[in-house]
Amino acid sequence: MKIDVLVEVNVGTQDQTFTYLVPSELESKIEIGKRVKVPFGNRKLEGFIVAINNQPQDYELKEIISVIDEQKVLTPEMFALGKYMSNITLAPLIHCYQTMLPTALKANRNINIKIKTKTYLSLNKSKEDVLSYIESTKSKIQKDILNLFLDKDLIAKSDIIKKASLKILIEKGLLKELYQEEYRLPEAFKNSNQVNLTIDQLKVIEDFQIGIKDIYLLYGVTGSGKTEVYMNIIDRCLEEKKQAIVLVPEIALTMQLVNRFQNHFGNKVAILHSRLSDGEKYDEWRRIERGEAEIVIGPRSAVFAPLKDIGVIIIDEEHENSYKQENSPRYHAHDIAFYLGKKHHAKVLLGSATPSLESYTKAKVGIYGFLELKTRVNNHQLPQVKIVDMKESMRQGYRILSKELITAIKDKLNKKEQIMILLNRRGYSNYLNCQSCGHTFKCPACDITMTYHKTSDMMRCHYCGYATKKIDVCPECKTKSLRSIGFGTEKLEEELKKLFEDAKIIRMDLDTTTQKGSHSKIINAFSNREYDILLGTQMIAKGLDFDNVSLVGVINADNSLDIPDFRSGEKTFQLLSQVAGRSGRTSLQGEVILQVFNPDHYVIETVKEHDYEAFYRQEIIMRKKLNYPPFCFIASIKIISKEYEKGFKLSKEISDFLKKELPNNTVLGPTMANIFKINNYYRYNCLIKYKNKEEVLETLKKVQNHYQTNQNFKIEFDFNPIHF
């Protein structure tokens, strides 16, 4: 018997499989979709069996070493999905399969997950037989043990202390041992306080239920009750004996939502959390596969959960960047959800208070169904947004916190209400700069200035992680005139502590949340009112629901408008609206203060009015004028080279080829990528603006097949890229 195996190796030809012989004693274990261990050169690799090979072979084949799995890990459905993904992203098939599986089931990870079992006991004879044994035996202990089983079917072995008597009862055939797989995560229990849905919520659910579209956009302001709508739709889906997937941007930041789902659905929820251990993830995967969990919540990769009959796929905060994977395969969770929706005849529901321009446009023109929740539940008002012009504030000598924000914070502290402050930049200062010669400290491997972190007294590159001790003397001119420019959350925290000595202040950013569970700790502590002020980066902006927050302040709120990216307006609008939505979620009247340098920018003006529609109308004009999505699609071709010159030459060659092959599309570049050098690689970028993907795919496949990539030279294809 011969089999074709797909392994993860960097051999020029994409998706090439290798044929191996199967020793006769292993033949019975062979099944497509299982993993095998094979010799490869002088290495041993793991790979997936993708076919039984019946072709005659005239060269000598090597034998496989072993079959890893008892049960196949890739099902026919997963093979099909992997092929689809590979085709739309141009990623190697093996990357697609690996991405779909939890770590424990990927090939070549050499991870041994222990399956934990727990031993139980049950009666092995009829109740009559047992009763007559109880009558006849003289042993009090044996009587006591057997009596336990008269009204309980299963008892954990660990619960019975008298092991010697137990052993006798098993030997006599009165009791038997049973083994059950034990999961690492504790069971969740229902703890539901049922809400009565509002008329608006019921209408949305009704429209979704009877509608005939495949995909729906639920556009609902923050706090309008979208989460309750999701749970109700899933209730109905479970009644039909179908399962549901709920995608969230990032689990650690959405634990409040997860808890609400667990309270509502108890142990039917499986959570695929990126910070679970490999064993825990494997257990959740198995619970889903066995049908024990019917609702899967997780980040984008949860879309691959092995559900048999999906009834609905919900994507919360559908506009978030995290639904796009940045490394190969560069897939978007939306596309996978749409594919699965078709396969399972399941509807896809996208939810957001600030939809992406693409989704909103599709909903407006009727490609997606459009559902809307216009007001907050219980008529709570959206917060009042005040704009503070920092040019003016700086003139008065307020550099970090404006007078207006300081006054508002004091007021809320007096009222014992809580405050959130967003500054979307971590570290102490943006960078250090020599006042006498102008020297700045760049990362030696990347084309970017390093950020100063005061707590560790280090300068760090936020791209590659390179860090070096801060110095006092300029390496160029040897004077002691280094000054920090700009500021991040660390400095903001220092400033707040200085100004509000009695306030309890906590910071949440990448630097304070490196440990497992640290997000939840901060969120819970703030939620329990152990702190007065929570400050942080965009991490604090999303999804959180604190009932006592009545003021949100945003520092440098319009900074991100300067990023050279056609989506910078959209992203800024989304972030500011999201964080504003954290204020005044209950009966407290919420207040928001945005500190900006461009108070007249339409993004700032429309955030102030909570007017997504107005923002959309302005933004769409710009997109149309400059021909950007949703008026076209964008593909990026990144040429990544160790050598500066060669990188440019090849980029030019590729760009010329694309221009020739795709005369009906716009081909731009090569340009230097926004961050030109990362980790010692130079990065050039070509862009294609297109309408017809088939044609572009064909051409890019030619590029892919033509160039041999290696250690010094790579080409990355990215459809609908987030970074340029």
Residues that bind ligand ADP (CB under 6 A): 195-198, 201, 220, 222-228, 377, 545
**Closer CB to Zn ion, residue 282 or residue 431?**
431
User: Is the separation of the CB atoms in 271 and 258 below 8 Å?
Assistant: yes
Q: What does 339-375 look like in DSSP terms, one character per residue?
A: HHHHHHT-EEEEEESS--HHHHHHHHTTSSEEEEE-S
Smallest gap, in angstroms, from Cβ of residue 513 to Zn ion?
Answer: 21
**Closer CB to ligand ADP, residue 82 or residue 220?**
220
Q: Which residue has the tokens 């002020």?
A: 533
Smallest gap, in angstroms, from Cβ of residue 710 to ligand ADP?
Answer: 48
Smallest gap, in angstroms, from Cβ of residue 538 to ligand ADP?
Answer: 17
**Closer CB to ligand ADP, residue 201 or residue 424?**
201
The two tokens of residue 444 are 């030696």
> Considering CB distances under 5 to 8 angstroms, the limit depending on partner class, which of Zn ion, ligand ADP, none binds residue 11?
none
**Closer CB to Zn ion, residue 461 or residue 541?**
461
Smallest gap, in angstroms, from Cβ of residue 186 to ligand ADP?
Answer: 24
User: Is the separation of the CB atoms in 635 and 687 below 8 Å?
Assistant: yes
**Closer CB to Zn ion, residue 401 or residue 459?**
459
**Closer CB to ligand ADP, residue 352 or residue 636?**
352
Query: Helix (H, G, I), strand (E, B), or coil: what is residue 139?
Result: coil
> Considering CB distances under 5 to 8 angstroms, the limit depending on partner class, which of ligand ADP, Zn ion, none binds residue 463?
Zn ion
The two tokens of residue 183 are 């999961």
> Considering CB distances under 5 to 8 angstroms, the limit depending on partner class, which of ligand ADP, Zn ion, none binds residue 466?
Zn ion
Smallest gap, in angstroms, from Cβ of residue 478 to Zn ion?
Answer: 25
> Considering CB distances under 5 to 8 angstroms, the limit depending on partner class, which of ligand ADP, Zn ion, none binds residue 424?
none
Q: Contacts from 38-42 at CB under 8 Å and sequence distance 24+?
A: 38/5, 38/7, 38/62, 38/64, 38/65, 39/63, 39/65, 40/7, 40/9
Q: How far, in whole angstroms, is CA 298 from its chain's centroid? A: 7
**Closer CB to ligand ADP, residue 197 or residue 620?**
197
**Closer CB to Zn ion, residue 1 or residue 445?**
445
The two tokens of residue 201 are 């919520």
Q: How far, in whole angstroms, is CA 644 from its chain's centroid? A: 34
**Closer CB to ligand ADP, residue 377 or residue 461?**
377
Burial (0-12, 13-18, 19+ Cβ within 10 Å), 222: buried
> Considering CB distances under 5 to 8 angstroms, the limit depending on partner class, which of ligand ADP, Zn ion, none binds residue 377?
ligand ADP
**Closer CB to ligand ADP, residue 351 or residue 569?**
351
Is the alpha carbon torsion for 588, 196, 262, 159 positive or negative? positive
The one-letter code for the residue type at 635 is: A
User: Is the separation of the CB atoms in 81 and 97 below 8 Å?
Assistant: no
**Closer CB to ligand ADP, residue 220 or residue 341?**
220
> Considering CB distances under 5 to 8 angstroms, the limit depending on partner class, which of Zn ion, ligand ADP, none binds residue 464?
Zn ion
Smallest gap, in angstroms, from Cβ of residue 679 to Zn ion?
Answer: 6
> Considering CB distances under 5 to 8 angstroms, the limit depending on partner class, which of ligand ADP, Zn ion, none binds residue 226?
ligand ADP
Smallest gap, in angstroms, from Cβ of residue 446 to Zn ion?
Answer: 3
Give the footprint of Zn ion on this chain (CB under 5 A).
Answer: 443, 445-446, 461, 463-464, 466
Smallest gap, in angstroms, from Cβ of residue 260 to ligand ADP?
Answer: 7
The one-letter code for the residue type at 15 is: D
Q: What does 218-247 look like in DSSP terms, one character per residue?
A: EEE-TTSSHHHHHHHHHHHHHHTT-EEEEE
Smallest gap, in angstroms, from Cβ of residue 451 to Zn ion?
Answer: 11
Q: Crossing angle for the helix pair 199-210 and 226-239, nearest 10 degrees?
A: 50
> Considering CB distances under 5 to 8 angstroms, the limit depending on partner class, which of Zn ion, ligand ADP, none binds residue 445?
Zn ion
Smallest gap, in angstroms, from Cβ of residue 376 to ligand ADP?
Answer: 7
682 vs 22: CA distance, rounded Å = 45
**Closer CB to ligand ADP, residue 224 or residue 402?**
224
- Taking the CA atoms of the chain, what radius of gyration do you get in angstroms? 30
The two tokens of residue 693 are 């993907």
Smallest gap, in angstroms, from Cβ of residue 221 to ligand ADP?
Answer: 7
648 C-beta neighbours (distance < 10 Å), count:
16
Smallest gap, in angstroms, from Cβ of residue 683 to Zn ion?
Answer: 13
Instruction: Please state, in angstroms and as integers, the Cα–Cα distance from residue 636 to each residue in 108, 288, 448, following that order.
Output: 30, 36, 22
**Closer CB to Zn ion, residue 106 or residue 425?**
425
98 vs 96: CA distance, rounded Å = 5
302 vs 285: CA distance, rounded Å = 10
**Closer CB to ligand ADP, residue 86 or residue 224?**
224
> Considering CB distances under 5 to 8 angstroms, the limit depending on partner class, which of Zn ion, ligand ADP, none binds residue 197?
ligand ADP
Kindly report the three-state secondary structure assignment for every residue of 431-486. Answer: EEEECCCCCECECCCCCCECEEECCCCEEECCCCCCEEECCCCCCCCCCCCEEEEC
> Considering CB distances under 5 to 8 angstroms, the limit depending on partner class, which of Zn ion, ligand ADP, none binds residue 446?
Zn ion
> Considering CB distances under 5 to 8 angstroms, the limit depending on partner class, which of ligand ADP, Zn ion, none binds residue 566?
none
DSSP 48: E
Beta-sheet pairing, 369-373 with 215-220: parallel
Smallest gap, in angstroms, from Cβ of residue 252 to ligand ADP?
Answer: 18
Smallest gap, in angstroms, from Cβ of residue 568 to ligand ADP?
Answer: 25
Smallest gap, in angstroms, from Cβ of residue 465 to Zn ion?
Answer: 7
> Considering CB distances under 5 to 8 angstroms, the limit depending on partner class, which of ligand ADP, Zn ion, none binds residue 237?
none
> Considering CB distances under 5 to 8 angstroms, the limit depending on partner class, which of Zn ion, ligand ADP, none binds residue 545?
ligand ADP
**Closer CB to ligand ADP, residue 96 or residue 237?**
237
Beginning with the edge strand found earlier in the chain, give each strand of the sheet holding 666-678 in spatial order. Answer: 666-678, 681-690, 633-641, 713-719
User: Is the separation of the CB atoms in 431 and 547 below 8 Å?
Assistant: no
> Considering CB distances under 5 to 8 angstroms, the limit depending on partner class, which of ligand ADP, Zn ion, none binds residue 222?
ligand ADP
The one-letter code for the residue type at 637 is: I
User: Is the separation of the CB atoms in 153 and 127 below 8 Å?
Assistant: no
> Considering CB distances under 5 to 8 angstroms, the limit depending on partner class, which of Zn ion, ligand ADP, none binds residue 195?
ligand ADP
